[in-house]
Amino acid sequence: MSRRVCLKDIAAEAGVSVVTVSLALNGTSNEKNQARVSEAKRKEIREIAERLGYRASIAGRILKSKRISDIGLLFLEESEQARDHLEFSDLNIQVNRLCRERGVRCQLEWFDPIHDPEGIPGILTDGLIGGLLVAGNPAGRSKEFLEEHFHLPFVRIGEPAPYSVMLDFSAALEQTLAQFAVSGHKRVALINGPTEVRRFREFEELFLEKTQKYGWKDAAERIFTIPHFGDYARSSLEAVEAIFRRPDPADAVLVASGQSKSVITLIERMGLHVPEDVSVVHFIATDRESEKFAPRLSAIESQAKLLAENGIDILQSLMNGEKISRPQRLVPALFRNRESVRHPKN
């Protein structure tokens, strides 16, 4: 069976960009974007598409004949990170469940904008969806296309946008620190994810703000930031060494979820016990990864179900042309105290 012709094939034949091909074939209601492709070039591109056997013209006819109710779900993440991204897995399950309940189809695509900065996800150009949920961070051409040329309604999950649903960590972090305080902890540390990512940067800012309330004025000295796309095993070791080899080691630590299990293993190799010597709470986590560990991990967890519900509610309203009363929504994270935080002393 021959390979299906894609926009990149047409672009190469016509000597133009994939964006130009998409605008020529799919069209857009945006006059500024229409003006970017001359009528002569538009005709040339369509003739090349027909000669090569490009099949997306079927989608174009569908678009013209009726409104498409299908919802797209686009995950944007670096390849290796995507393999361990349980948040995306939970969100995928919840979005698909809700779509089934509402009688609409969900189309999924994962795309790595880090290793393919010039690429554009097919779900943005195929014309087979009526609206899109976007999780993760676009970069390169995919970011440009989504922000400037994508003419369908879309909602960002976890990142700010005109229409977005994001996690609010404030109350859950407050509960976590209150639990540390009542359990008698004096030296609280943070092993954070890369602060190039908005949620880790905001989490650190909240940590510094809220630790002052309990008199932990040296909290800023007990922060270790995991480098972006680094050697995570080595970074975990360096974090544990930096925080627990001090003359005044931490007695409680918040750990970004992807590092939590290796950090606990390294802590216990030092002869310390969780939670007797060190309490551990991991954050931006899922209940699945929290429960499947010994001890069961106390955690600040995202709520995939509420993220999905709010995202789909906004998106379907946009697809129906309805006015959105709350275009940016916050979903509270949850603090669940399990077995990795020691009990208050009597």
Query: For 58-62, 146-150, 271-275, 321-325, which range has the lowest pLDDT when averaged over its residues?
Result: 58-62
pLDDT at 257: 86
Inform me whether the pLDDT recorded for 30 exceeds 70.
no
Work out how many domains the chain is built from and give that number.
2
Average pLDDT over residues 47-76: 72
Statement to judge: residues 46 and 172 lie in one domain = no
pLDDT at 125: 83
Q: pLDDT tens across 175-218, in order? A: 999 999 999 999 999 999 999 888 999 999 999 999 998 989 89
Query: Is the CB of residue 304 less than 8 Å from the CB of residue 91?
Result: yes
Inform me whether the pLDDT recorded for 107 exceeds 70.
yes
Inform me whether the pLDDT recorded for 59 exceeds 70.
no
Long-range contacts of 141-150 (CB under 8 A, 24+ apart): 141/18, 141/19, 141/117, 142/76, 142/111, 142/113, 143/113, 144/19, 145/19, 145/22, 145/120, 148/33, 149/19, 149/22, 149/23, 149/28, 149/33, 150/124
Per the domain annotation, does 326 fall within a domain?
Answer: no
Q: How far is the C-alpha of 121 from the C-alpha of 134, rounded, in Å?
A: 11
pTM of the model as a whole: 0.79
pLDDT at 258: 82
Q: How far is the C-alpha of 157 from the C-alpha of 167, rounded, in Å?
A: 9
Q: How far is the C-alpha of 243 from the C-alpha of 277, rounded, in Å?
A: 14
Per the domain annotation, does 131 fall within a domain?
Answer: no
Inform me whether the pLDDT recorded for 56 exceeds 70.
no
> Of the candidates 66, 84, 105, which is a domain's last residue?
66
CATH number for the domain harbouring residue 202: 3.40.50.2300
pLDDT at 293: 85
Domain that holds residue 280: 168-302
pLDDT band for position 288 (cuts 50, 70, 90): confident
Average pLDDT over residues 290-301: 91
Average pLDDT over residues 42-64: 70
> Is the bond into 295 cis (omega within 30 degrees of 0)?
yes
Average pLDDT over residues 9-35: 71
pLDDT at 127: 77
Query: For 77-91, 219-233, 256-270, 288-302, which range has the lowest pLDDT when averaged over its residues?
Result: 77-91
CATH number for the domain harbouring residue 3: 1.10.260.40
pLDDT at 263: 94
> Of the candidates 36, 66, 96, which is a domain's last residue?
66
Per the domain annotation, does 258 fall within a domain?
Answer: yes
pLDDT at 231: 83
Per the domain annotation, does 256 fall within a domain?
Answer: yes
Per the domain annotation, does 150 fall within a domain?
Answer: no
Higher pLDDT, 58 or 150: 150
pLDDT at 264: 93
Inform me whether the pLDDT recorded for 85 exceeds 60.
yes
Inform me whether the pLDDT recorded for 39 exceeds 60.
yes
The whole-chain average pLDDT of the chain stands at 88
**Greatest mean pLDDT among 5-9, 20-24, 83-87, 233-237:** 233-237
> Of the candidates 66, 87, 105, which is a domain's last residue?
66
pLDDT band for position 155 (cuts 50, 70, 90): very high
Statement to judge: residues 51 and 176 lie in one domain = no
pLDDT at 100: 95
Per the domain annotation, does 309 fall within a domain?
Answer: no
Alpha helices (H) along 7-117: 7-14, 18-26, 31-34, 39-52, 57-65, 79-83, 86-102
Per the domain annotation, does 173 fall within a domain?
Answer: yes
Inform me whether the pLDDT recorded for 113 exceeds 90.
yes
Per the domain annotation, does 289 fall within a domain?
Answer: yes
